[in-house]
Amino acid sequence: MYLVCGEALFDFFSENDASGLASKVNFKAIAGGSPFNVAVGLRRLGVEAALLAGLSTDYLGRRLLQVLEEEGVRTDYLVDFAAPTTLAMVALGANGSPHYSFRGEGCADRQLKPEHLPALGSQVRGLHIGSFSLVVQPIADTLLELVRRESGKRLISLDPNVRLNPQPNIELWRSRIATLVEHADLIKVSDEDLGLLYPGQDPAQVIEGWLQHRCQLVFLTRGGEGASVFSRSHGSWSVPACTVTIADTVGAGDTFQAALITWLTEQGLDSVVGVRQLSRQQIDEMARFAVQAAALTCSRTGPDLPYRHQLD
């Protein structure tokens, strides 16, 4: 089982209103949040998954719980809080890329504290962390404590998924990610993330620095240009994107992440030792599987992640 850690929220997408009244705005709300999406994505791809998160007892929080239950994500690691559900207001760019504005201060998904951390049994094969839960408090320090506790014992994957609206202090992002990189076995990062974190720096140089720690693999996603692989053992190379008609790119990165973990799980390599044993061909297959899965999500509106049979 994979334990995904971090925020759960609702994305609010604005929709055109036929009346044309400025006083009226239509929204479509879709359950989301990067860790939430990864957990759902894992289940749709056939991997047992649980979400470690703070969940609101309000109406939207109960809807998030209902989605998790219906998708088959284990909910026994959730912690209830009498605080609001985070809202992400989403505007789509001309190329389908999302631009977010968050309403999250004091919300439930930020409230996890060290005393809420569970003891993990042998059924938990790995942990995934990412997005703004890495840098907003108190959950940021809670997840750091968990990662430090479990590093070397279970596979740990990291996706920075930088979102400056909930935490605009880029120095804080850099500092926290630099610390977490020391404990991660596998990292997925977008070219957009690296552009925000280290403007003007060569992405390959940054990633080579990450590989000097315990990390074995870094996948750099490049949108329509596919993805690049950086392996401690086998060097670097690129995998082309799949050609699709893009509806939007919401959830594509989360799909890519879930697909990486799924591939490892299906091959019985979802462990610290397993990742270190990967051949170049296996890593290439893993990357191509993730690119294919992400492309399918891009062909749909919102974070509608694929099911396993759709990738055969």
Instruction: Report the C-alpha gap between 287 and 296 in whole angstroms.
Output: 14
Q: Considering the domain boundaries, does residue 142 fall inside one?
A: yes
Q: What is the pLDDT of residue 188?
A: 98
Give 103's strand partners. Answer: 87
The label of the residue with tokens 């279970």 reads 154
Asked whether 237 and 229 are in contact (CB, 8 A), the reply is yes
CA distances to 58, 138, 263 from 270, rounded to whole Å, are 36, 29, 8
Residue 88, classified by CB atoms within 10 Å of its CB into exposed (0-12), middle (13-18) or buried (19+), is buried
Coil, helix or strand at residue 291? helix
In this prediction, residues 177-205 reach a mean pLDDT of 97
Does residue 27 carry a pLDDT above 90? no
**Contacts (Cβ under 8 Å, ≥6 apart) of 202:** none
20 is a domain residue = no
Task: Check pLDDT > 80 for residue 96.
Answer: no
Q: In this prediction, what percent of the chain has a pLDDT beyond 70?
A: 97
Residue 287: helix, strand or coil by DSSP?
A: helix
pLDDT, residue 26, reads 81
Q: Decide if pLDDT at 193 tops 70.
A: yes
261's tokens: 């973990």
**Average confidence (pLDDT) over 38-47:** 98
Percent of the chain with pLDDT over 90: 83
Answer yes or no: is pLDDT of 248 > 70: yes
List pLDDT tens digits, range 131-152: 999 999 999 999 999 999 999 9
In this structure, of 89-93, 168-172, 213-217, 281-285, the range with the lowest mean pLDDT score is 89-93
- The residue whose two tokens read 């470690």 is 52
Can you say how many angstroms the Cα of residue 230 is from the centroid of all Cα atoms in its chain? 19
pLDDT tier for residue 292 given thresholds of 50, 70 and 90: very high
Residue 95 has a pLDDT of: 65
Give the side-chain half-sphere CA count within 13 A for 218. Answer: 27
Taking the C-alpha atoms of residue 46 and residue 190, their distance in angstroms, rounded to an integer, is 25
Q: Mean pLDDT for the chain?
A: 94
Question: What's the CA angle centered on 28, arms 22 and 30, to 5 degrees?
Answer: 150
- Is the predicted pLDDT of residue 76 greater than 70, yes or no? yes
Please state the rounded mean pLDDT for residues 74-83: 98
Q: Residue range 27-39: average pLDDT? A: 93
21 within domain boundaries = no
136: nearest Cα among 100, 97, 167: 167
- Listed in sequence order, the residues at least 6 apart from 7 whose beta carbon sits closer than 8 Å to its beta carbon are 33, 34, 35, 36, 53, 86, 104, 109, 110, 131, 132, 133, 139
* Beta-strand runs (E) in the chain: 2-5, 9-15, 26-32, 49-56, 78-81, 87-92, 98-103, 126-130, 155-159, 186-190, 217-221, 227-231, 235-239
Kindly state the average pLDDT of the residues 54-70.
Answer: 98
Q: What pLDDT was estimated at residue 20?
A: 72
Chain length of the chain: 312
pTM listed for this prediction: 0.94
Domain carrying residue 134: 2-14+29-306
3-state secondary structure of 169: coil
Question: Would 257 be classed as within a structural domain?
Answer: yes
pLDDT in tens, 205-237: 999 999 999 999 999 999 989 999 999 999 999
Does the pLDDT value for residue 92 go beyond 80? no
Domain CATH number, residue 239: 3.40.1190.20
Instruction: Say what the pLDDT of residue 106 is.
Output: 94
226 φ/ψ angles, rounded to the nearest 5 degrees: 90, -140
Confirm whether 206 is domain-assigned. yes
What pLDDT score does 93 carry?
67
Task: Tell me, yes or no, whether 264 lies in a domain.
Answer: yes
How high is the pLDDT of residue 21? 77
Cβ neighbors of 153 (< 8 A, separation 6 or more) are: 272
Nearest to 30 by CA among 49, 15, 50: 15
- Give pLDDT, residue 112: 97
The tally of domains found in the chain comes to 1
In a domain, 19, yes or no: no
Is residue 23 situated within a structural domain?
no
